Amino acid sequence: MTSTLAEVQRKVKTYLFKQISRQRLKKPTFTLISNNCWGAEVYQLLGLQYRTPFVGLFLHAPCYIELLKNLQSVLYSPLDFVSMSIYPKTNEQRKKNEHYYPIGRLKNNIEVHFLHYESKEEAQEKWYRRLQRTDLSHESLFIQFSERDLCTYELLEKFELLSFGNKICFTTQAYPHLSSSIEIDQYVGRAEVDDGLKLFRACHRYFDVVQWLNSGDGKPDFIGTTIGNLLT
């Protein structure tokens, strides 16, 4: 009985969070570039069509920073596929899990790991279809990064130096001199934050995604904090 009641409460909270978030959003068309599934969760929360190809996939931090350094030229370069990653640990993990998802490769050997796709044909079709909807103009472009998948302090610094106007990075500790970084308390002491889905659920007490998309700084005010607490 207790578990049933808890499940009902969770569903009600999720529903309220979605409805309030959708009512608050003032900018329904935006392109969100993300190194993992965090970005897709934003579109799902708001009930919006994906205007980004970064859905159901992840990039290792070194590749992601290289992508962002030359975003337009890399993003619109041909997408090829390879059987093995340049990252040995990833090859070991794929073999261990017997999960040989497609690995795409863009310009400059930048890998895109299509973790939630069954075939390279599916990955390619959805990548190009969603790519056509992207808008890289300053006012429509939002960039998210997270401290995981071979991220280093040097890569966090490189992200900070990128000239995007709307960018945030979720980290395991405070970096006061990195203005784009947001510490998530539950990850303090860990080597990296969780995957995109778990990170999305964890970040709401610290970051107001709708306020950010409405051209704010993402810092929760009283309303944002109250809404964020619904899911945490």
Residue 9: what pLDDT? Answer: 80
Residue 1: what pLDDT? Answer: 46
Q: Is the pLDDT at 61 greater than 70, yes or no?
A: yes
Q: Is the pLDDT at 29 greater than 60, yes or no?
A: yes
Would you tell me how many other CB atoms lie within 10 Å of the CB of residue 61? 23
**What pTM did the predictor assign?**
0.92
What average pLDDT does this structure show over 195-208? Answer: 94
Residue 232: what pLDDT? Answer: 59
Please report, for residues 17, 76, 80, 208, the alpha-carbon distance to residue 147 in angstroms, rounded to integers and kept in the order given: 26, 25, 27, 19
Between 126 and 5, the higher pLDDT residue:
126
Residue 32: what pLDDT? Answer: 98
Residue 225: what pLDDT? Answer: 61
Cα Dmax for the chain? 56
Q: Select from 76, 73, 38 the least CA-distant residue to 57.
A: 38
Spatial distance between the Cα atoms of 167 and 159, rounded to a whole number of angstroms: 9
Spatial distance between the Cα atoms of 221 and 224, rounded to a whole number of angstroms: 5
Average of per-residue pLDDT values in the chain: 93
State both tokens at 185: 């308390």
Is 111 in contact with 105 (CB distance < 8 Å)? yes
Q: Is the pLDDT at 210 greater than 60, yes or no?
A: yes
Is 25 in contact with 131 (CB distance < 8 Å)? no
Please report, for residues 31, 50, 72, 124, 173, the alpha-carbon distance to residue 129 in angstroms, rounded to integers and kept in the order given: 14, 10, 16, 8, 37
Residue 227: what pLDDT? Answer: 61
Using pLDDT thresholds of 50, 70 and 90, give the confidence band for residue 7: confident
What's the full length of the chain, in residues? 232
Using pLDDT thresholds of 50, 70 and 90, give the confidence band for residue 230: low
| Residue carrying structure tokens 């997270």 | 146
